[in-house]
Amino acid sequence: MSFNVVIPARFASSRLPGKPLADIHGKPMIARVVERAQMSDAKRVIVATDDQIIVSALSDMDCEVILTSKEHRSGTDRIAEVIDKIELADDEIVINVQGDEPLLPPENINQTARMLVERPDVNISTLCVQIYESEDVFDPNVVKTLMDKKGVSLYYSRAPVPWYRGRFDGSQELTEDELRAYFRHVGIYGYRAGIIRQFVKWPMSSMEKLESLEQLRAMENGEIILCQVAEVEPPHGVDTPADLEKIRAYMANNGENL
């Protein structure tokens, strides 16, 4: 199985300025993400950043760092620049690992790549996990996903989908059995390089604008997105200062602070 990992790392962040360099037990967060990616079966791990300060922060690590434009609107745009710079063939597999996932299991990366190896007719893959808390169903920051029985994505939404008609008004607790219908999207993607080149040329789609979810652009342009339940459940990433403290505490409590 041959694939590449690209980690987009934008220095600016509205909720957590300088997030990639946030210290996690003596190392910047982006370094922790790189370490996780290097534990996978990837033949190549590349950080795609918009700031020289991140390049410098990773100077002691054995990984590739490519400086990209500050004008990109998304991590996918940043990855598109990288695949052109390194001249990847259209059929090569690229795994987009988010730069704020310092505890991402390497098994997630391998699983996302394996999905495309096993389905050469599909260009995009991703993962999800079961939702266990009612509050997550109603949280717009928790993206919900629907799949068919073959693992083909049907829709992604910030709203509670599916909706229990006549069952709740948005404030009631769901039972354990009712929660089985809900899955949280995990922000990792597998792509063939060619579909990334196409994707960034498509205009934002109507559903993408409404939900602010980039994957809907691919679906509205007829692309199949395969989605599987993660074989190893990943923890939440870092979006806020509170998330960062949780990661630090988790690593300290589990002996992962080396």
User: What pLDDT score was predicted for residue 15?
Assistant: 63
Structural domains in the chain (count): 1
Cα–Cα distances in angstroms (integers) from residue 81 to residues 36, 58, 76, 158, in the given order: 23, 20, 9, 29
User: What pLDDT score was predicted for residue 91?
Assistant: 96
Q: Is residue 247 part of a domain?
A: no
- Are the C-beta atoms of residues 140 and 200 closer than 8 Å to each other? no
Which residue, chain included where needed, has tokens 């079961």? 130
Beta pairing partners, 18 = none
User: What pLDDT score was predicted for residue 251?
Assistant: 84
Q: Is residue 243 part of a domain?
A: no
User: What pLDDT score was predicted for residue 66?
Assistant: 95
Range(s) of the domain holding residue 85 = 4-237
User: What pLDDT score was predicted for residue 255?
Assistant: 66
Q: Is residue 125 part of a domain?
A: yes
User: What pLDDT score was predicted for residue 244?
Assistant: 87
Which residue, chain included where needed, has tokens 């390497």? 106
Residue 212 CB neighbours (<10 A): 11
Q: Is residue 108 part of a domain?
A: yes
**Length of the chain counted residue by residue:** 258
Q: What is the DSSP string of 109-151?
A: HHHHHHHHHH-TT--EEEEEEE---HHHHH-TTS-EEEE-TTS
- With 0-12 / 13-18 / 19 or more C-beta atoms within 10 angstroms meaning exposed / middle / buried, residue 258 is exposed
Q: Provide the strand spans (E) within 51-131.
A: 64-67, 93-97, 124-130
**What are the helix and strand counts (H, E) for the chain?**
10, 11
**How far is the C-alpha of 247 from the C-alpha of 243, rounded, in Å?**
6
Q: Is residue 252 part of a domain?
A: no
Q: Which DSSP category does 153 fall into? A: E
Q: What is the pLDDT along the chain (258 residues), one digit of tens a residue?
A: 799 999 999 877 666 678 888 888 889 999 999 999 999 999 999 999 998 999 999 988 888 999 998 889 889 999 999 999 999 999 999 999 998 899 999 999 999 999 999 999 999 999 999 999 998 998 898 999 999 999 999 999 999 999 887 666 656 788 898 899 999 999 899 999 999 999 999 999 999 999 999 999 999 999 999 999 999 999 888 878 888 888 898 888 876 655
**How far is the C-alpha of 26 from the C-alpha of 9, rounded, in Å?**
19
Task: Reduce the secondary structure of 185-205 to three states and give it as a string.
Answer: EEEEEEEEHHHHHHHCCCCCC
Which tokens belong to 126? 């991703």
Q: Is residue 17 part of a domain?
A: yes
User: What pLDDT score was predicted for residue 173?
Assistant: 83
Which residue, chain included where needed, has tokens 């690229």? 94
Q: Is residue 244 part of a domain?
A: no
Cα–Cα distances in angstroms (integers) from residue 236 to residues 36, 48, 89, 138, 142, in the given order: 15, 22, 32, 17, 10
Q: Is residue 255 part of a domain?
A: no
Any idea what the CATH number is for the domain that residue 57 is in? 3.90.550.10
pTM of the prediction? 0.92
**How far is the C-alpha of 38 from the C-alpha of 63, rounded, in Å?**
9
